[in-house]
Chains A and B, each alone.
Chain A
């Protein structure tokens, strides 16, 4: 019987020829990840396990990104717990401020997430790495502690859903963000609960890696266990420049079984806005232009990559941010930051009136660097618009792609890029 790409990767890591949805397996892990919020809890649990060392110093990644650079004394203590642990256990992939980035932008860029890998991270957006053809899923800190100790984790093999994007009549200014928001709007925030979301079709193949990361990043926003895109030439070009160890390319069999197959014509998809307070509350931008906003955020593990900043700069170059708008831009990693500097992207953004920050999660989770007051509204390229996500419980977050964010920053309300282009 045929298997999906997710089933094949899980089977290979469990040492089995075949797995079926629902089966419980114990799988070998290629990488385990934690950040400054989840690592301290994991480290506390790790210490209870009575192991002297992590299972493999080169396969543990620890990234201070959520409240780093340290927001306050408490976050400084949290980061310190992780830093001390990294030094004590000689964890090779610990990234200090100045080299770090938002974990899900950073690890693929560093070649740590490769096709065919089985990865767990104590962060729900670990599913981002599906964009390189890996099985990657978010877990809690206790799972992470066990993973760091043993290099293994248990999984229930998920059923798979297939999202097949066809056609080539793209709306202008539509990117990966709009594809995934469109899908979440269609199936809901639990539409793929416990399942694997596999993205395929010429629509996906035509997208850049940056756009593919954005799509897999938000699989969790539909409740999925993982999102995945089978590697093609674009993936391999991206990987070959970065990989320092072997990897294996898997593809779904033509007779693989899916719980459901969705076929979507890319022409159906306009730039999307997700209204408060769930990512499933989507509407086309053109029906959202009445919403006045106070702050615009461009960044995060969803849309803080080079192409995202380029798209924003393309719209903002030579224009000014509306005088009642605070525009905050957070490049995803130091490398992205430097490339954006070299290309004049940062200059264009700063000249337009953006506040550009060092890489951090910052406002994405209401941590620091742009918290909302009561009643304020933000338009953001991040992935969650839950109640209180960016600050006061009575503030509101709207989600969109970077081009829409930039156009809206100019007009002071939700706006289509076409209105300013």
Chain B
């Protein structure tokens, strides 16, 4: 799959309270969460983004809480994926489990500027900056993730295994 969109740039250590403030966690409806996505970093964010846009950020994106509401809010707000120098562990897991593609590339995170048009090839991890004519290589997904992604996320993956003996990955 190819993702293509305009980029929105954020700094390092973007935490889950910025992605979706805890005060809105009394619901888990994706549409309701989407309205407050990145609100504490940019109150206008959800009004400005278009379907398919991409978040670009520095190191440790998604640090803090384990709330799956964070990748859900990003996905429901219409963003196609996140590129960052690195991701916090639980966010990384959650994003792939719910089907939000994420890409790790320090070079891309540094060189992409706010508003650049960017295209990403999910299978190879190749990121093309259409505005600047540059390419960057993201870390490809580890093998177990490729399996999960192929199945469409953790739930279909486990549902597919139902009845079969649990295997050691």
- Interface of A with B (CB < 8 Å)? 14-16, 24-26, 37-38, 40-41, 44-45, 48-51, 66-67, 71-72, 74-75, 78, 121-124, 126, 138-143, 145-146, 149-150, 152, 154, 156, 189-190, 193-194, 223, 225, 278, 365-367, 371, 384, 386-389, 391, 393
Contact = CB atoms under 8 A, between A and B. Distances in A.
A140 B93 contact: yes
Given A143-B154, A190-B60, A25 B66 contact: no
Interface stretch (B23-31, B47-55, B106-114, B130-138): B23-31
15 contacts: A38-B68, A41-B68, A44-B28, A51-B162, A66-B25, A75-B26, A124-B65, A140-B67, A140-B97, A150-B166, A384-B65, A387-B18, A387-B40, A393-B21, A393-B39
Contacts of B126: none
Contacts of A71: 26
Interface string B14-25: 010110011101
Nearest to B23: A366
Closest 8 CB pairs of A and B: A140-B94, A365-B22, A140-B68, A142-B97, A190-B60, A124-B66, A138-B66, A74-B26
Q: Mostly helix, strand, loop or mixed at chain B's interface?
A: loop
Contacts of A149: 158
A24 B167 contact: no
Contacts of A51: 162
Contacts of A49: 155, 158-159, 162
A152 B168 CA distance: 10
B66 A142 contact: no
A48 B159 contact: yes
Given A37-B69, A72-B26, A150-B158, 13 more contacts: A26-B166, A41-B69, A51-B162, A78-B27, A138-B66, A142-B94, A142-B154, A189-B13, A190-B88, A194-B89, A223-B60, A366-B21, A387-B40
A194 to B, nearest CB: 5
Contact of A67 (B26, B93, B168): B26
B79 to A, nearest CB: 18
A386 B168 contact: no
Interface residues of B, number: 46
Nearest to A41: B28
B2 to A, nearest CB: 25
B17 to A, nearest CB: 4
Most buried by B among A48, A124, A225: A124
A156 B94 CA distance: 14
B76 interface: no
B105 interface: no
Given A51-B162, A142-B153, A387-B17, A26 B23 contact: no
Interface in B59-80: 59-60, 63-69, 71-72
A145 B94 CA distance: 12
Given A124-B66, A140-B94, A223-B88, A152 B60 contact: no
A388 B66 contact: no
